[in-house]
Every structure is written in structure tokens, then in C-alpha cells.
Chains A and B, each alone.
Chain A
């Protein structure tokens, strides 16, 4: 009897556990290590938390109280922000460094623009405006991630819907969704951004792959950035993915110039144990095309040149190491000889020695033997004005304006809105398209200059998205012909395996523009003040000293005013007459 009751209770408890897990949350962590051809190592950490069965909040319900939020693995601080502002999709990246597309290829995380970048898809509503919620969203994220996102105000916010399409689903609300995008190139990333980032993870940085995120090492990388990506997967749930990406340099760390690396040598830590609540915990190493390396310990699985290590709770500490025993020291490849790794290469610069105008130049090189169509997005602060009538396209000094199509331009509004230029560029095979345009640089008020005005103004990166390959004008991403061409081209040229070409964003480096700057320095102010005082004082005194004063005598008798005045006049006249008579 007692045993039967116990069995019943255990059955109910087990049923409850099964139901809870079915309704619950999933957490996966993944570390991808990719040796690059210039001796560096790309490391991408990805922590994905999926809230099953959840859906983004309808902005129409912002008037009512939201449902209570109780999470086990899902980050509560981020979930509250998403519900508070009814955000359907969110992407925030904080990056430092310049991504070298030609030598590092496409990044695992596409958002590699320098500085802070925030874009979100939010449903519209008649209750609150999207811009109000956008302001609240960026302030909340600024507080959560210790970043200066409060500066992503209307002067930096645009809606480039062609370039930043949603990566997840957008539910059907009463009003359609709107995009808000802003960049802050002067933002930097440091330990104070990594600290709250790690606090969002279920295991923090105590166990699992996140233990490798040593701020003293990852912020010594040649490139590093962290990202927060939230998207809605229809009928599956809301997915939050926290990503950290870095390009580290084992050659610089080693004392003999070799490119051997291990988790210990790169991060100064190893994976001590797996995260207990992680459904899957993996370390993946992409194997180079050459065969002169050794990889230890042996991987759990090797599929398509990708070695995978599965971390389990019972497993001991993991320290993946890759060595090249045959190399005495790493020999850097000649950058002018090796071909670029990406489909297109982009360079952008601002020319002109004048303080009032400049010329913006974009050079896009198509490295493929087939034609490529690419979307081009240029966001410029309001203090740089485009002269759109001077837009020219050249290929080898011959003008080809027909290669720029579907031009869309939103002019800037001073102190209010940046300029937004979107276009489709057609790149002929193995050629370089050069786009030039004149811009004007205004005089700013002295209160508008930042504290380090002599450094210049940061300009956001331009974004290019190649989306069509091949001569046909169909918008499909990959046709069979272009795919075969890519495969052949890849096999011929590149020892490193590459993923198939897909539509992905390519960011240009940020630029600095010098506007006319008044001299804010203290010596200048002292000189001006002193000269002003000298001019005022010396001028007044000199004026007094050099002026000649003349006494003017006026004859008048107050006893008889009328007669005297007439007499005065008579005297004058009489005097004159007397003189004449005498002469």
C-alpha cells in the first residue's frame, strides 16, 4: 500500500518534469576555431538560448500589464527589455578592430562593423511610436551592457530595410514591422562590456566554454567583438544568441615565431568542465586544406573538414592544440601574390585637402569570373552633404554609370537625420568599379564639437551585400552555373576550404573626416583673451593720449537774452562789416 502510493507520487513528479522540460528552455554553446592563412586564429563563441513556444509581444498589448516572466536559462534582464519595448528582432554588436576580408574571409558573425551597431525590427502601433520604443530600447541596452548607446539618437538612426532584412520571422501584427538601425563608430569594447555579457549566461564564466573568455587575452586580439542577437523562429520560439568573436595571433604570442596554438596558449585557460545545463557543448576546429598539421587530442567526430569535440559532464578538461611540427617558424604569405578570400573587395576613402569639400570614393573589386550584383548602403551624418549629381561610376577610367541602378537617396536634415544612400551595383567579372561623389563639409557650431575635436569625426562604415551571381538577372542567391563556377574556382585557387557563397554583409572600415575646427586649446584662449584686453586698454589710452582737444568760446550775456542774442548776431555782422569798411 505504501509502496503503491510512493509509485504514484513518483509518477506524478516524473510527469511534471517531462511537461516542464517540454515547455522549457534549451541552451547550447559552441566554440568554432578556424586557423587563418596569415597565421592567425579566428575564434567564435556562440551561446544560444531558445525559449520554446514563446512569441514576441504585440505592441497593441503595451497598454495592458505583461504576463509574468519566469525563466530558468533564458536571460531575464534581456527578456524584460524585449517585452518592455515589444521588440521582435534585435541585433547589437560591439566591435573593435578592422576586419581584413581579403585574408580572413567572411566572418562567422556577419556584423563586424567597427564600433557599436544596433538594429531592431519592431511592430508598429497607435499607442506608442516606434521611435519612442527605440529610444527606450537603446537606453535599456546601454544600461545592461555598459555601453554609450544613448548616443544612438535620431541623428544616427536610419531604416535601411534592403540591407538589414530580418533573420527570423516577423509575426503578423495589426501594423507592419519597422526597422531601426544606428551605428556609433567611436564606441569601444572592453572588460566592462564583457562582464554583463557573461552574466547573461546560465553558467556565467565558471564552467563551460565561456570559461575561456579571459578579458586579458581576448581584448589583446587583433580584432574582437561581441554581439547579442534575438530573433523569433516561427512555431519554435524566441531565440537569444550571445556571440563573441575574436581574431587572435598565436605567432605574436609565441617566442619562436611559430603558429602552433592551444587553448592554453591562446586564452590562458582551458575548458575545465562542461556547463551542466547545456544541451550540447561543442568545440569545433576547422581543418586547413594542407596536411602538415597535427591536432590533439583526437576529435569526437570529423565531418567535412570540421573536427568536433563534444563536451560531456563526465569528461575531463579539454585543451585543443594544433601544431605544425614541420615548420621552424611561420612564413607569412606574400599579400600581393595570394588571391583574396572573398567574392568582392571594397575600399573606401575620402579625398580632398579643402576644409569645405571632399570627394568620396568607393572601389569595389569583383574577384569572381562571373558578374556579381551587390547592394550598397552608405549612411552619412548630416554634417557631410552628398552632391548626388556628381555621382560617377568608372571601370578602368571609362565611365559606366549604367552599372549603378535602383538608386534610393534620403537627404539629411541638419541636427535631425543622417543621409541614407542605397543602390545596386553591377560588377562585371574580374574588374574594379570605382564610384566617386563630391561631398561638402559644413562649419559646425562650436558647441557641437566633441571634446577631442582635433581627432576628427568618425563616419559609419558602408555596407555591401552581394546578392546575385552570374549573368542572369534573377535574384536567386545561387544558380547552378555560378555554383559550379565557384566550386571550380575554389578548388583551383584556395587550399583553405570555404563555405559556399551566400548573401552576407561586407563592412568597410570606418573613416575619420576633418571638419573646420576652432582651436579649443588653452594657450589659444589665453592669447585671444590677452590680445583682446590689450587691444581694448591700449586703444582707449592711446586714443586719449593722441587726441587734440580745442576750446570753443561762445559769447553770451544772460542779463538781457533777447537783446543780447540779437546783439550777438549784430556784433558778428558788425565786426565783419567793420573789417570790410576799414579795408
Chain B
């Protein structure tokens, strides 16, 4: 009994603490004015020994799909095929950890540009919208001035350039000019640029258009390193920077209130083996006002509702990240624990009544729809009968 009371008090304190901060933040936050989200994910490397770059792009693909961006709004460019490569011991699968718990390829994937189609020209044409009339819609970036665009690039690069298939290079000036052209043609509301390559931070140093937020994996004169090798696959399976970003994103869901500042605060140069950089001088909002789901998630509704456990999610995410950091091999256990805690919080908190009421309302809505359908059918039948009886 005493233990139960203690647990109840602890839960109440947690809920109150979680409630206070969102209320304050809610009135002071500047939300984004975007209405749709797009993602351009580029893996610019070819050959089997660049397996990790394909896994980087596919990990981002899985994240943005999980958070709500549909396939029609994702431009995925893979310069090589590792899933069905004859060297792949697990055909149709791409893994990003030696534990092989998560298949990034899965059963449902759409690659828009692949193989020799991944070129500098095609990438710039996608960004600027200068494509031939015969190019299908699935290969176009059909954004407007209310679109938040997330651009992720990975591959081999150097000072102010990124290599495409070891055959071409795209320079920081090219990307900056393309983004400027996007801005002039009103092709984005806010743009988030992320790049994982050697000397990655030089790639966004030439941006000069507004509303751009950028981050990279390593400084100038600094390499980006892989995170984990696998003996079955035979090569490195993911890069270090992208691994920790994806690890943070595992704690995000569609309704998370985590901000970009929270993401950047998790950068740890000692673990990543390079110094990630952030450039926000062109971004109009504070990083504490920009949600992670403003770029990674899909806008599902225009109505903004504040979940009661919004900050609680962030809190648990932080705890989970720490657990993941301490025990790399215990990802499953940490996830299970986090989910359990989340469930407990929902069921045990006294202030979860609005949430439960929302659930009940939703259920009633479904029942009401069914009842309305049956009632409409009955009314139609009655009308038909009445007309027949009149005749």
C-alpha cells in the first residue's frame, strides 16, 4: 500500500513536471508554417565496399517513412544495389548493425534514382525542378513555398566537394546555387541539409539563401568514420555520425516535441570520432522552436493539439539515448523498457483522462460512422418503400 502510494506520488510529480514545461513552451513557441514535407536522400557511392553509405541512406529513408512522409514525397537516390548484390549473404536485406535486428530494405521500398541515374546533373535537376517533360512525377520534387525539404547526402567527399560514383564531383557552390534557385522559385519554406562525408561541414559553408538549417558530420581536414564492421557481410555497415543520429531518431515518433536543439545536443565528438557542425545563422527560428518532426515528419493535420506527455516523451528519449550509449548491444531491452514505462505512464497518470477521453471519442466516432452508414441505408430503403407504396 505504501509502495503504491509512493509510485502514485512519483507519477504525479512526473506528470506535473511534464505538464509545466509544455504549457510554458506552447505559448512562446514559433511553429513552422509548412503544410507538407519532402525528403531527398542521396547515396552517392558505388561498389560493395561502400555498403555503409547505402545503409545510411536507407536508414534515413526508414526514419522519414516511419515518421509520416509518404513514398510519393521521398526522392531516394541509391548509386548501387547492395540488397540484391551477388556478394550479399542476405539477399533483399540491408542491415545497419552487426546484430542484424532491423532490415532496412524490408518488403516495401521505392528507389527513384538508382545506378547510373545518380549523377550530379540529375541531383541538381531534381532540386531546381528543371527536368524534362517526360520525367515521371515520382522522380520530381514537386515542392512549393509551404514545403519543408530535408536533404540528406552521404558518400565520399573532400574540402567543399562530394564525389558521385567516384566519377563526378558536386561542389559546395553548386549546392548553394541550387538552393538559391529553389528559394527564388519558391520551392521550399524551410530546408534542412544534412551530410555525412569527409570534411562534411565545408559542404554547407557556401549557403547564402534564407531559411536553411544545415549540419554535417566532420570539420575541414577531418574524416568521417564508419561505426561498425560485420564479419558476415564483410564490410562496414554504417557510418558513425549517421548511426548516432538514427539512434536518436529511434526515440522520436510522429507526435514527439523534441527540437532540433535536442538533436544537436546529442552530438558527441568522442563517440562519432569527428566534430559534427551546425549552421543556423540563415535559419529564422530558434533551434529550440524547430521540432524534429518539422523536417522528418509528415504534416498529417493542421490542428495543433498539445499531447499531455509531450515533454515526457523527450525525457524518456533522453534516458533511452543514454542507455543506448552505455550498452550498445542492449538496444532491444532499452526499447522494451522505454515502451513499458510509456505505457505505465499512460495508464497510471491521473491526468491521462483527456487522453483516454480522446481514445473513447475516437472509438465512438468509429461506431458512430458505422451506425450512420446503417441508418443511411435504412433511410434509403424506407424512402424506396414509401415511393413504392405511393405508386
Contact = CB atoms under 8 A, between A and B. Distances in A.
Nearest to B107: A215
Nearest to B113: A148
A191 B136 contact: no
Chain A CB within 10 A, most for which of B92, B105, B106: B92
A220 B91 contact: yes
A195 interface: yes
A9 B389 CA distance: 12
A306 interface: no
B139 A4 contact: no
Contact of B84 (A6, A96, A136, A186): A96
B16 to A, nearest CB: 46
B385 A5 contact: yes
Interface string B93-111: 1000000000101111111
B248 to A, nearest CB: 27
Interface string A1-23: 11011101100000000000000
Given A96-B84, A148-B115, A191-B105, A452 B46 contact: yes
A205 B106 CA distance: 14
B166 to A, nearest CB: 6
B389 A1 contact: yes
B47 to A, nearest CB: 8
A139 B109 contact: no
Contacts of A27: none
B134 A5 contact: no
B388 A192 contact: no
Given A143-B112, A187-B115, A219-B83, 12 more contacts: A6-B381, A6-B385, A140-B136, A146-B112, A186-B116, A190-B83, A190-B84, A191-B107, A191-B109, A195-B110, A219-B92, A451-B167
B391 interface: yes
Interface in B120-145: 132, 134-139
Nearest to B85: A188
A451 B46 contact: yes
Contacts of B107: 191, 195, 205, 214-215
A486 to B, nearest CB: 37
Nearest to A7: B388
B134 A191 contact: no
A189 B84 contact: yes
Interface in A40-79: none
Nearest to B103: A216
B197 interface: no
Interface string B355-391: 0000000000000000000000000010011011101
A217 B84 CA distance: 11
Contacts of B388: 1-2, 4-6, 8-9
28 contacts: A6-B381, A9-B388, A96-B84, A139-B132, A139-B136, A142-B139, A143-B135, A146-B110, A146-B112, A148-B117, A150-B135, A186-B116, A188-B115, A190-B83, A191-B83, A191-B108, A191-B109, A192-B111, A195-B107, A195-B109, A205-B107, A217-B92, A219-B84, A451-B116, A451-B167, A452-B47, A452-B165, A520-B167
Interface in B249-304: none
Contacts of A148: 114-117
Interface of B: 46-47, 81, 83-84, 90-93, 103, 105-112, 114-117, 132, 134-139, 165-167, 381, 384-385, 387-389, 391
A60 B90 CA distance: 50
A181 B216 CA distance: 45
Contact of B110 (A1, A196, A220, A451): A196
Interface in A214-248: 214-217, 219-220
Residue among B46, B107, B385 facing the most chain A CB atoms (10 A cut-off): B107
B115 A191 contact: no
A16 to B, nearest CB: 14
Contact of B134 (A1, A4, A135, A192): A135
B138 A143 contact: yes
Interface string A177-205: 00000000011111110011000000001
A216 B92 contact: yes
B314 to A, nearest CB: 34
Contact of A215 (B46, B92, B111, B135): B92
B159 to A, nearest CB: 15
Given A5-B389, A139-B134, A146-B112, A451 B84 contact: no
Interface string A139-159: 110111010101100000000
A565 to B, nearest CB: 63
A144 B136 contact: yes
Contacts of B46: 451-452
A523 interface: no
Contact of A143 (B81, B109, B136, B167): B136
Contacts of B81: 188, 190
Q: Which 7 pairs from chain A and chain B are nearest by CB? A: A5-B388, A143-B136, A451-B167, A451-B165, A190-B84, A192-B111, A220-B91
B370 to A, nearest CB: 21
A450 B103 CA distance: 31
A4 B90 CA distance: 66
A136 B110 contact: no
A190 B135 contact: no
B116 A151 contact: yes
B82 to A, nearest CB: 9
Given A5-B385, A5-B387, A135-B134, A450 B91 contact: no
B384 A190 contact: no
A5 B384 contact: yes
B62 to A, nearest CB: 13
Contacts of B90: 216
Contacts of B47: 452
A136 B134 contact: yes
Given A2-B388, A148-B116, A151-B116, A451 B166 contact: yes
Contacts of B93: 216
A5 B391 contact: yes
B136 to A, nearest CB: 3
Contacts of B137: 143
Contacts of A220: 91-92
Contacts of B391: 5
Contacts of A216: 90-93, 103
A520 B111 CA distance: 28
Contacts of B136: 139-140, 142-144
A96 B46 CA distance: 19
Interface in A496-554: 520
Contacts of A142: 136, 139
B24 to A, nearest CB: 45
Contacts of A140: 134, 136
Contacts of B134: 135-136, 139-140
B117 A190 contact: no
Nearest to A520: B167
Contacts of A451: 46, 116, 165-167
Contact of A146 (B84, B106, B111): B111
